Amino acid sequence: MSTPHINAKPGDFAETLLMPGDPLRAQYIAETFLDDARRVADVRNMYGYTGTYKGKAISIMGSGMGVPSMSIYAKELITDYGVKNIIRVGTCGGVAADIKLRDVIIAMGASTDSGVNRQRLRGYDFAALADFGLMEKAVAAARAASIPVRVGNVFTSDLFYSPDTELMPVLEKMNVLAVDMEAAGLYGVAAEYGAKALTVMTVSDHIIRGEATSADERQTTFNDMIKLTLEATLSIDE
């Protein structure tokens, strides 16, 4: 039975799912990396696909931008479609001084200015953390592929165009690696509904230094990150 935002049928989604923000990225990943990929959801053009990667059933679905959109889709995938492992794959803006363009970042934790996780914890701070098992698998896959990764804290922002001009130096001081807009929301949903979650991102720009990658560089780096993440899913027990 479909939900208000996903029109897939029961059993259409695999237990492990990758979530880029852009639905066209979901389409690209499915068509480029999966075998026998089929579209299973398309409400509001938020595409979802299921296929196989080296024989393992994998689904891909867009999340949209921001914590609210991520939270809607992640919740429904977990509670209505039986998805057990969600890995956000996307881009982020670097903050830490030693972060370089095209670095791959695995978000062990996600600080945030969003209030959604405080609502979940009756007004208290919630430590939004990745599932250690998924994170361990992603790090192992990166090492096997000789792809260097950075593991640490990121900051999930509610605003892309933030008026707080003093925030970035504080984040840098606190050793926050990068900024995104979804990780803390995904981690909160997974904790509330008993799923496992991880965020793997590539650095498309450096916020403090004002550096940015070209379109070709972003695509190449994105492909490397997706390969790494898909390899990590092969060792997930289901």
Q: Please list the residues that pair with 198 across neighbouring strands.
A: 87
Helix crossing, 67-81 with 183-193: angle to 10°?
30
Q: Is 23 exposed, middle or buried (0-12, 13-18, 19+ CB in 10 A)?
A: buried
CA distance 88 to 213: 20
Q: Is the CB of residue 6 less than 8 Å from the CB of residue 73?
A: yes
Helix crossing, 215-233 with 23-33: angle to 10°?
60
200: helix, coil or strand? strand
Task: Based on the residue annotation, tell me whether 35 is a catalytic residue of this protein.
Answer: no
CA distance 200 to 148: 13
Kindly name the residue from 42, 158, 205, 224 that is annotated as catalytic.
Answer: 205
Which positions are annotated as active-site residues? Answer: 205
